[in-house]
A and B are shown apart, each in its own frame.
Chain A
């Protein structure tokens, strides 16, 4: 039992406090301590102008290709292929978006991607929380071996089973169907590990025991105690899994075709033609990225916090 950590952890264990916790742990905490320290002694140096310049360059490097996608998508093909290239948006954005939407059949692709990424993210979160809870707080024979197995499976790239998987899907009659993309990725080892790490810290053993004393069975404890506490990391895991599933390319490209594609698969259609309209290609790329960019604008801080939380520390 981790008695020494309980008073601290229960305070943080209420639902919805995780983002705040990450925020609290990061710069502000350092700042208040920093006031009492000799300058240069601690690690939390204030950033100088050089640091800001370098970070500015890094941010430019990160964001410019996206900005330029928008610029190119808003001009016409002749303008975009001139030198010097355009740096400011042109007037054709909506035209191009509409044409790309039709040419790449993006309507269907978007719906497919939404279904695929939504189902995968939901099931990953549910099963990862269940397994993470079991690994973090329940005692059972073979727990350590099974956990090692989970970690070991992170090392197995999906490419290696792709030939038999394709044969399986053909046999099941799922070729070109969404279940062929959904089923192999219903669970994630990274997700299980992520939830285990979180729950072993944030869920006090006392709560589980108290639930048992009150006569709640395991599923009931999961539903009434674990889920409320794990709500915030579950949201983070949902978003991360959603991004991965939305962007997944290799397996959907193999098992789906242009009649029923996900967004990344549909985008390959745009560049494969012999007549290449660059503005149109960029419009398609922009459309395919927009939903996730919107998610980043709204939940950027939480996603960042979640990735940092899942990191191996020390």
Chain B
């Protein structure tokens, strides 16, 4: 066993044999031993919790405090109490509702096709394949590109006058689409970037779960006369349900945060506002616009809280849907 490779530490307090009588050194060593056994686990998990508390939890709580103040980017230490003014202003702001709706529509446009395609891809990868490693690595490669690079490339592919996608559409007789200025075209283009980067990643998660499904379930289904398509629906999909829920949660979180893709798709000045008419401004972009373009950090914090509330609402809805589905199954 591997233990033979680990030599006991020379002269470390723990090496004292436990069978002797209670000499002073020994008592000290058992004390140290007990301290080690009790304390070490906490020492091992402490770094995670310390860093998380300092840089994630504390800021999250402090966000709510800031959102009740007027704070300007240039004078961050001057905080003027305004109560819920930022919230009422946000409620009355058309840009907020527009960004909320855009976040939702782009989220649906990117998440639903992405997960459906990932499911199909995982199913294909689950066949016995020649070159399966190639197909798996190829599927995952987009995951290695940064938002920056991917968005730049797709922005060019979606270019109005010379972009490759419009050129291909022209081959089948469709006129040039102004992907930047047409609201739905822009949102579709942005969703495409998201879909491209994450489909393979999700497919691999599904594939791992599919390979853990016991074989006899398929055999039982085949004996009962289920076709391959029925086997997929009745065995595969229920078999990986918890993974599907997991990816839905991850994609939803990702969708509410969407920032880099629309920013870069807007190519500079129009990026932060999400297009000339805010046609693809997400909540992430609105947060940035309020804080770092309009210099109103208090308002930016309010947008952050709105994003948090949105997530909570989505999770409650997801829970309810899950419960209803579980009852039906």
List the interface of chain A (C-beta within 8 A of B): 10, 13-14, 25-27, 30-31, 33-34, 40-47, 51-52, 54-55, 58-59, 61-63, 65-66, 68-69, 72, 80-85, 127-128, 130-131, 133-135, 138-140, 143, 146, 149-150, 153, 155-168, 170-171, 183-187, 189, 192, 206-207, 210-212, 214-220, 222, 224-225, 228-229, 243, 246-247, 249-250, 253-254, 263-265, 267-268, 270-273, 276, 278, 281-282, 284-286, 288-289, 292-293, 295-296, 300-301, 303-304, 307-309, 311-314
Contact = CB atoms under 8 A, between A and B. Distances in A.
Contacts of B206: 311
A123 B129 CA distance: 38
A155 B314 CA distance: 12
Contact of B42 (A27, A140, A171, A229): A140
A289 B7 CA distance: 45
Interface residues of B, number: 130
B133 A210 contact: no
B304 A160 contact: yes
11 contacts: A27-B128, A40-B222, A52-B129, A130-B45, A159-B287, A160-B308, A187-B51, A187-B52, A264-B149, A271-B152, A289-B145
Contact of B44 (A63, A84, A134): A134
Interface of B: 1-3, 5-9, 12-16, 32-33, 36-38, 40-42, 44-45, 47-49, 51-52, 55-60, 62-63, 66, 71, 76-77, 120-121, 124-130, 132-150, 152-157, 161-164, 167, 170, 196, 200-201, 204-209, 211-213, 215, 218-219, 222-223, 228, 231, 235, 239-240, 242-243, 246, 249, 253, 256-257, 259-260, 263-264, 267-269, 284, 287-288, 291-292, 297, 300-301, 304-305, 307-308, 311, 315
A44 B196 contact: no
B310 to A, nearest CB: 11
B41 A81 contact: no
B304 A81 contact: no
Nearest to B206: A311
Contacts of A295: 144
Q: Is the interface of A mostly helix, strand, loop or mixed?
A: helix
A126 B20 CA distance: 37
Given A216-B14, A311-B205, A267 B152 contact: yes
B217 to A, nearest CB: 8
B40 A26 contact: no
A159 B257 contact: yes
A85 B119 CA distance: 33
A62 B200 contact: yes
B196 A65 contact: yes
A185 B146 CA distance: 17
A158 B52 CA distance: 11
Contacts of B147: 247, 249, 264
B268 A134 contact: no
A41 B137 contact: no
Contacts of A284: 152
- Choose among B51, B142, B148, B304 the residue with the greatest number of A CB atoms under 10 Å from its CB: B148
Top 5 nearest A-B pairs (CB, nearest first) are A161-B59, A218-B40, A224-B6, A300-B137, A267-B148
Nearest to A127: B47
A25 B63 CA distance: 47
B2 A14 contact: yes
A45 B228 contact: yes
A130 B44 contact: yes
B121 A314 contact: no
A212 B135 CA distance: 46
A66 B145 contact: yes
A296 to B, nearest CB: 5
Given A43-B126, A296-B137, A304-B137, A170 B148 contact: no
Contacts of B143: 243
A313 B205 CA distance: 8
Nearest to B195: A61
B11 to A, nearest CB: 11
Contacts of B268: 271-273
A153 to B, nearest CB: 6
